[in-house]
Structure 1
Amino acid sequence: MKKKIFKNTILIILLLVVLCGVSIIGVLYSYFNKQYVSSLNQAAGYIAEGVNLSGLDFLTDLNENEKRITWVAADGTVLYDNKADPHTMENHKNRTEIKQAMTSSAGTSVRYSKTLSEETIYHAIRIADGSVVRVSVVRKSVPALLMKVLLPIILVLLLGVEFSAILAYRLSKQITTPLEAIDLDHPDESTVYDELSPFIRKIRIQNEQIQKAMTQLQAQKNEFALITENMQEGFLVVDKKEIVLSHNRSISTLFDVDESVDGKHVLEINRSEEFIDCIKKAIQGIHSEYICPVKGRFYNIYANPVFRNNEVAGAVVIITDVTEKEERENLRREFSANVSHELKTPLTSISGIAEIIKNGIVDEKDVKTFAGKIYDEARRLIHLVEDIIKLSQLDEGEQAVEKTPIDIYDLSRIEIHHLEPVAEERHIKINLQGEHMMISGIHSVLEEMVYNLIENAIKYNKEDGTIDVMIKKKKHRCEFCVKDSGIGIPADQLDRIFERFYRVDKSHSKEIGGTGLGLSIVKHGAKLHNAEIKIESALNVGTEINLIFPI
C-alpha cells in the first residue's frame, strides 16, 4: 500500500507541475503576444503618419532594423521595402493584411514558417492617398521557444521529481503508519486520525461477526467430533486427492494410526488394494463397499462420494464391524450343510430298506428286522428335528421365558434315572453328589441341558467307566458339574465342541448316535440362564464340564 501511495503521489505532483508549467507558458505567451501586437500597431501607426506627411523621404531616413517596413501602392505595387529590393517583389494586393487595409483602413495577419519554426505578424494601415504602409515582425513559435527553455524545464522537472519523492514518501508514511499500528483484534484501542474512524468501526463490526461465526463453527465442530469420536464405527473423510482430512478414534484403534495421519495420503492408514480401490471408486462418484479382514475380524467398508457444486470433492468412509454377521452367515451355511447331511443319511437308509421290501427281495422272516431298522432311522429323524426346533427356539428367543425355582439336585436325579438303562448297557456307573440347591430357571430348558450333558458323558465314556454329577455352592453361585472318565477331547478342539453338528470323533459318530446338537442346546440354554460354562479335558483321561448359575 505504501508503494502505491508513493507512486500515485509522485505521478499526481508531476502531473500538476507539468499542467502548471504548460498553463504558465500559455498565459505568458498570450500576454506577450498581445504586447507584441500592440507594439506593432503603434509602430505601424507612427510610420504611416510619417509616410503620409513626408512620403518616401521619411522611410529612407528611418533607421529600423528589427521591423520590416513595406510601402504598397493602391494597385499592390511595392514602392518601398527596407529588407528587400521593391522592384523584385511581386504584387501585394492579394495579401490578407493588404486587402483588409484597403477595405477597412487596417489589417492584421500571421503567417507561420514550418521550415524556420517562425511566425511573422503583419499589420497594415491605409493612408490618405490610398496606399498602404505595412509593418511586420518575426517571432519564434511556441515549440521553438520551448526548445530554447528545454534545459531549464528539465531542471525544474528534476527538482519537481525530487520534491515529489520526498513529499510522497512523507505523505505515504503518515497515511500508512496509523494503519499498520491498528490492532485488528482490538481496533478500538488504536490511535488513528479521524478519517479512519469509519474504517475502525467496520473492523470492529466485522470482528464481532467473525467471532460469532467462529463460535458457531467451533460448536458445530465440537458436536461433530463428539458424535464421531463416540461412534463404534470407523469414520474417515478424504479429499479428491485421497488426502486424509479427518478420522475418528475407531479408525486409530482399528488401523493403529494416530492424529499425525491427517493431511497425509490414505495409504498411511491401509495399503490393501481393495481398500484403496474402494476409495478411488468413491472419488470417481461411485458408491462402493467391500468386506475387509483386519486382525482376525471382518469389517464392512462403505465409501460414498461427497459432491460440491455437482463435482466430487472427496469421499466419506464408514467402517463397521460385521464379524458376528459373517460368523452367523458361516454358521448358517455350515448348519444348512450339516442338516442336509444329517437328514439325508437316515432318509437314504429308510428309502433303501423300503425299496428292498417293495421289490420282495426280503424274506418274510427278515421283514421284522428291516422294519425295526426303518423305525430306528425314523426315530433318529424325529430326534434330529426335535433338537433343531429346540435350538431354533433358543436362537429366536421363542422358548417360554417364565422362570420358576427349580431344585437342580432333584432334576439331576430324575435325568440320571432316565439314563441309567443306557449307562448299564456299557457298565458305566453314575454317581450323584452334592446338596439340594434352588435356582431360578426354565424347567424344560434345564431338563434338556442336564440330560444332554449326562448323555454325552455316557456316549463318549469307556466301558466300565464312571460319571460324577456334582452340585455345590460357591460364593453365591450354584455349580453343576458333570465329570466322566471317557476318551477326552483334544485341546485344539475344545472351542468347537459347542458348534452345531460338531463331533470330536467323526469316525464313531454313527456308532455313538445322537444329532450333534446336544452341546449347542446346552450353550444356548446357559446363555438364557446367564450361566457360565467351563470345560477341562485330557485325552484318554476324561472330560469335566461345569455350569455355574447365579443364585
Structure 2
Amino acid sequence: MTKKIFRAIFLSTMGILLGSVLLILGYLFHYFSDLQLEQLSIQTSLMAQAVEQEGFHYLEQVDSRGLRITWIAPDGEVLYDSESAVGQLGNHADREEVREAKKTGSGQSIRHSDTVTQRLLYSAQRLADGTVLRLSLSQQTIWVLLGQLTPWMGLLFILSSLGSLFIAKRISRKLLEPLEKLDLEKPFENDVYVELSPLLRRLELHQTQLAEKESLLQQKREEFDTIISKMKEGMVIVDKGGYLVSYNSAAGQLLELEKSSIGHLIPAFSRHIGLKEILEAGLADQKAERIFEVGDRQSKVLIRPIWAEAGQTGAVILFFDVTEQHYLDKIRREFTATVSHELRTPLHILFGYSEMLQSGLTSPDSVQIFSTKIYQESKRMIQLIEDILQLAQLDEGGRIHKEVVNITSLVEQVVTGLNEKVKQKGISLTLKADTVYYKGNPTLLQSIVYNLCDNAIKYNKENGLVSVELSDNQDTVVFRVVDTGLGIAEADKERIFERFYRADKSRSKQVGGTGLGLSIVKYALQVHGASIEVDSLLDQGTTMTVTFPV
C-alpha cells in the first residue's frame, strides 16, 4: 500500500508540475506574440505616416533589419518589398491582412511557414491614396523554443523529480503512519483521521461480530470436547489427507496419541495393515467396519466419511472396546465344546453298558458291575447338568435373594454330609467354628462351603488331613479349608476358577468331578462381595481362605 500511495503522489506531482510548466510556457508564448503583434501594428502605423509624406525616399532610407516592408498598390500589385524584387512577387490583393486593411483601415494575420519552424506576424495599414503598407516579422514556433530550452527543461525535470520523490515519500509515510499503528482490537481508541471514522465503525462492528462468533465457536468446541472426552469409545477425526484433526482421551490412550500429533499422520494407522486399509476405504468415501486387535484390546473399528458442500472433508473413526464380548464369545464357544465333550463321555459309557446288557450276553456278575457303572455315570451326568444349570442362573445376573443365615449350622451340615467320602479315603477331618450369622443367599453359601470341602477331600491323599475353620472377626467372616492333598502348581492358581479347568487332568479323571465347582464358588463369592486366597504347594497341600465382608 505504501508503494501505491508513493507512486500515485509522485506521478501526480510530476504530472501537475510538467503540466504547469507547459501551460505557463504556452501562455507566455501567446502573450509575447500578442505583444509583438501590437508593437508591429504601432510600428506599421508610424511608418505609414512617413510613407505618406516621403514616399519611396523614406522606404529606401529606413533601417528594416528584422522587418520585411511591403508597399502594395490598391489593385494588389507590389510597389515595394524590402527583401524581394517587385517583379518576382505576385498579386497580394487576396492576403488576409491586406483585405482587412482595405476594408477597415488596418489588418493583422499570423501564418506559419512551410517548414513549421517559424511563423510570420503580419500588420497592414491603408494609406490615404488607397495603397497598403504591410510589415511582417518572423517568429520562432513554441516547439523550437522548447527545443532551445531543453537543457533548462532537463534540469527542471531532475530537480522536480527529486522534489517529487521527497514529497511523495514524506507524504506517504505521514499518511500511513496512523494506519500502521492502528489497533484493530480497539478501533475507536486510535488517533486517526476523521475521514476514517466510517471505517473504524465498520471495524468495531466486525470485531464485535467476530468476538461473538469466536465465543460461540469456542463454546461449541468445548461442548464437543466435553462430549467426546466422556465417551468410553475412542473417536478420531482426520482430514481428507488422513492427517489428525481431533481425538478424545480414549482414542489417545488406545493409539498413544499426543497433542503434538495434531496435523500429522497417525502412527498406528501406518503400522497396522488393517487400520491402514480401513482408513483408505473411509477416505475413498466408503463406510467400513472391522474388528482388530489394537494394542492389547479387541476393538470394533467403524469409519464414516465426513461431507461438506464442497465434497468430502475427512472421516470420523470410532473404536468400540469389544474385548470382554470377544472373551465371552470365546469362553462360550469353549464352554459349549467342553460341555459337549463332558456329556458325550458318560453318554457313550451308558450307551455301551446298556447295549451289552440288552444283548443278554453278560454274566450275572457283569450285570452287577455294569449296573454300578451306569449308576455312577448317570450320577456324574446329573451332577454336571445341575452345575451347568446353576452357572446359567448365575450368568443371568438376576436379583439374588438374601437372608440371615446361620453359617455355623450350614458348615456342620455340609461336613456331616461328606462323612461317607471322608471314611472312604480314611481322612481325618476337624471342624472348628464360631457361631456366625451372615446375610446372604443360603444356596450359594452352601455351594461355597460344599465345593471347597469336597475338593479338599477329593484331591487329598489317602489318610490325609482336612481342617475346616469358621471365625467371626469384627469386620470380616473368615472361612478356611486346609488339606494335605496334591497341591496346586503356581501357574495353575489363576486358572483353577475357570470352567472345566483341571490342574492335573489325569488325576481329575480318577477322582471324578465336573470341573465347574470352583467356577460356581467364584460367582457365589462375587455375589456376596467376598474374596478368596489360594495358598498351595505341590504334594504338600492347599489352603483356601474365604473372607466375607460384614
> If the length of structure 2 is used for normalisation, what is the TM-score?
0.82
Q: CA deviation at 1:85?
A: 3.0
Amino acid at match of 2:466: I
SS of equivalent residue, structure 1 residue 495: coil
Count of residue correspondences: 549
Equivalent-residue separation in structure 2 for 1:24 and 1:357 (angstroms): 146
Equivalent-residue separation in structure 2 for 1:130 and 1:377 (angstroms): 170
Q: Is the 1:71–1:132 Cα contact (8 Å) retained in structure 2?
A: yes
Q: CA deviation at 1:336?
A: 2.3
Alignment of 1:184-333 (within 5 A): 191-192=191-192, 194-195=194-195, 206-229=206-229, 231-250=231-250, 253-254=253-254, 259-262=259-262, 264-267=264-267, 271-288=271-288, 291=291, 293=293, 296-333=296-333
Equivalent-residue separation in structure 2 for 1:479 and 1:531 (angstroms): 10
Equivalent-residue separation in structure 2 for 1:357 and 1:111 (angstroms): 157
CA-to-aligned-CA distance 1:18-43 (integer Å, 9 cap, x gap): 22222222322333343344445555
CA-to-aligned-CA distance 1:339-373 (integer Å, 9 cap, x gap): 23223333444455566677x48458567765665
Equivalent-residue separation in structure 2 for 1:473 and 1:270 (angstroms): 59
Residue of structure 1 equivalent to 2:385? 385
SS of equivalent residue, structure 1 residue 64: coil
Alignment of 1:149-548 (within 5 A): 149-182=149-182, 191-192=191-192, 194-195=194-195, 206-229=206-229, 231-250=231-250, 253-254=253-254, 259-262=259-262, 264-267=264-267, 271-288=271-288, 291=291, 293=293, 296-352=296-352, 360=359, 362-363=361-362, 373=373, 376-398=376-398, 401-548=400-547
Q: CA deviation at 1:479?
A: 1.5
Q: Is the 1:106–1:123 Cα contact (8 Å) retained in structure 2?
A: yes
CA-to-aligned-CA distance 1:383-414 (integer Å, 9 cap, x gap): 3333222211111113x522111112222222
CA-to-aligned-CA distance 1:253-286 (integer Å, 9 cap, x gap): 5566654444555339984444555545444444
SS of equivalent residue, structure 1 residue 402: coil
Q: Is the 1:536–1:544 Cα contact (8 Å) retained in structure 2?
A: yes
Residue of structure 2 equivalent to 1:139? 139
Amino acid at match of 1:430: L
Q: Is the 1:427–1:463 Cα contact (8 Å) retained in structure 2?
A: yes
Residue of structure 1 equivalent to 2:148? 148
Equivalent-residue separation in structure 1 for 2:291 and 2:383 (angstroms): 38
Equivalent-residue separation in structure 1 for 2:177 and 2:541 (angstroms): 95
Alignment of 1:37-186 (within 5 A): 37-41=37-41, 59-70=59-70, 79-89=79-89, 110-113=110-113, 115-122=115-122, 135-182=135-182
SS of equivalent residue, structure 1 residue 462: coil
CA-to-aligned-CA distance 1:285-306 (integer Å, 9 cap, x gap): 4455555546644445555544
Amino acid at match of 1:538: L
CA-to-aligned-CA distance 1:67-126 (integer Å, 9 cap, x gap): 334456677665543322343345667766677778998876654457452233456677
Equivalent-residue separation in structure 2 for 1:5 and 1:101 (angstroms): 59
Amino acid at match of 1:492: A
Task: Provide closer, same or farther for how the CA distance between residues 545 and 45 of structure 1 changes in structure 2, counting only shifts above 3 A.
Answer: same
More displaced, 48-57 or 538-547?
A: 48-57
SS of equivalent residue, structure 2 residue 515: coil
Unpaired runs of at least 5, structure 1: none
More displaced, 150-159 or 360-369?
A: 360-369
Identity value in percent: 35
Q: CA deviation at 1:146?
A: 1.5
Q: CA deviation at 1:171?
A: 3.2
Q: CA deviation at 1:182?
A: 4.9
Q: CA deviation at 1:143?
A: 1.8
Q: CA deviation at 1:230?
A: 5.1
Q: Is the 1:407–1:437 Cα contact (8 Å) retained in structure 2?
A: yes
Q: Is the 2:269–2:279 Cα contact (8 Å) retained in structure 1?
A: no
Q: CA deviation at 1:523?
A: 0.9
More displaced, 324-333 or 388-397?
A: 324-333
CA-to-aligned-CA distance 1:423-473 (integer Å, 9 cap, x gap): 433333433321231111122222233222233333322222333222112
Equivalent-residue separation in structure 1 for 2:70 and 2:354 (angstroms): 162
Unpaired runs of at least 5, structure 2: none
Task: Provide closer, same or farther for how the CA distance between residues 407 and 42 of structure 1 changes in structure 2, counting only shifts above 3 A.
Answer: same
Q: CA deviation at 1:217?
A: 4.4
> If the length of structure 1 is used for normalisation, what is the TM-score?
0.82
Q: Is the 1:286–1:305 Cα contact (8 Å) retained in structure 2?
A: yes
Q: Is the 1:257–1:269 Cα contact (8 Å) retained in structure 2?
A: no
Equivalent-residue separation in structure 2 for 1:414 and 1:135 (angstroms): 163
Q: CA deviation at 1:224?
A: 4.4
More displaced, 515-524 or 246-255?
A: 246-255
Equivalent-residue separation in structure 1 for 2:306 and 2:496 (angstroms): 48
Equivalent-residue separation in structure 2 for 1:380 and 1:136 (angstroms): 154
Q: Is the 1:261–1:268 Cα contact (8 Å) retained in structure 2?
A: no
Equivalent-residue separation in structure 2 for 1:409 and 1:6 (angstroms): 106
More displaced, 321-330 or 302-311?
A: 302-311
